[in-house]
Structure 1
Amino acid sequence: MAIAAIRTLVLDCPDPHALAAFYAGLLGGEIRGDTDADWVDLHVGTVQRLSFQRAPGYVPPTWPSADHSQQLHLDLDVDDMEAREEEVLALGAKALDLDDEGGQRNFRVYADPVGHPFCLIRPV
């Protein structure tokens, strides 16, 4: 029997509403929280929620590097890698590693607008 259930996954960032808007564009969902709030929630489908917390002095993770390590990342399934890549880049994502080894590797790595890494994954 589980001791606990996940309530939310929280991402530190300099502007919670702006980062929530990026992830709403990526995942859909409803943003709950004022534009100047220190905490904003994004309610997405069957996932409980993602939350975004203002962190004064925020330092983005570096990937791949031990300095300012990523600490966590999101893996996101997509139906069409090329089309979805174009869309996430248009939302403000930054490409970190697009070498999918000629289609042999089923993922590509990006960073959200404040540097948190995430992967788009082509389900196999």
Structure 2
Amino acid sequence: MPIATYSLVALDCPDPRSLAAFYQAVLGGEITKYDEDWYDLHVPGGARIAFQRAPDHRPPEWPRGDRNSQQEHLDFDVTDIDRAQEEVLALGATPLDLDDGDGERGFRVYADPAGHPFCLCRQ
């Protein structure tokens, strides 16, 4: 029997509304606002990602992650990694590590507009 059930992943960021909109464009779903400092994205399939305002937020350094901020890492499965890459870059993502060894590694690493790392992974 598990100790807990999954609720959400919360990402610290300077602008929760705009970061929620970024992930909505990537994943779909509906945004709900708790207050100016907290937004939720309810993605298709039932998962939830929360975005909370952290005025002094500093993005983690990939891959070191030794800054004094929360480090989270999200993986997203895609059927066409090249097309998905074009789309997330157009939305404001920053490439961190695109060397997937001509497809052998199976993923590429990006940062969202607030600096959190995420991966696009081949299905």
Q: Which runs of 5+ in 1 are unaligned?
A: none
In structure 2, distance between residues paired with 1:11 and 1:89 = 19
Indicate if the aligned counterparts of 1:63 and 1:70 stay in contact, CA closer than 8 A: no
Moved over 3 A (4+): none
Q: Deviation at 1:48? A: 3.0
Q: How does 1:1-124 map to 2 (within 5 A)?
A: 1-33=1-33, 37-68=36-67, 71-123=71-123
Amino acid at match of 1:65: R
> How many residues were matched structurally?
122
What SS class does the counterpart of residue 20 from structure 1 fall into? Answer: helix
TM-score between the two structures when normalised by the length of structure 2 = 0.93
What SS class does the counterpart of residue 7 from structure 1 fall into? Answer: coil
Summarize deviations over 1:15-40 as a string: whole Å, max 9, x none.
00000000000000101117x71000
What SS class does the counterpart of residue 84 from structure 2 fall into? Answer: helix
TM-score between the two structures when normalised by the length of structure 1 = 0.92
In structure 2, distance between residues paired with 1:17 and 1:64 = 26
Q: Deviation at 1:66? A: 4.1
In structure 2, distance between residues paired with 1:76 and 1:120 = 5
Q: Deviation at 1:70? A: 6.7
Indicate if the aligned counterparts of 1:40 and 1:52 stay in contact, CA closer than 8 A: yes
In structure 2, distance between residues paired with 1:121 and 1:61 = 21
Identity of aligned residues (%): 61
What SS class does the counterpart of residue 32 from structure 1 fall into? Answer: strand
Deviates further, 1-10 or 73-82: 1-10
What SS class does the counterpart of residue 103 from structure 1 fall into? Answer: coil
RMSD value over aligned CA atoms? 1.6
Q: Which runs of 5+ in 2 are unaligned?
A: none
Summarize deviations over 1:59-98 as a string: whole Å, max 9, x none.
1111011432772200110010100000000010000011
Indicate if the aligned counterparts of 2:65 and 2:71 stay in contact, CA closer than 8 A: no
In structure 2, distance between residues paired with 1:66 and 1:28 = 28
In structure 2, distance between residues paired with 1:57 and 1:39 = 15
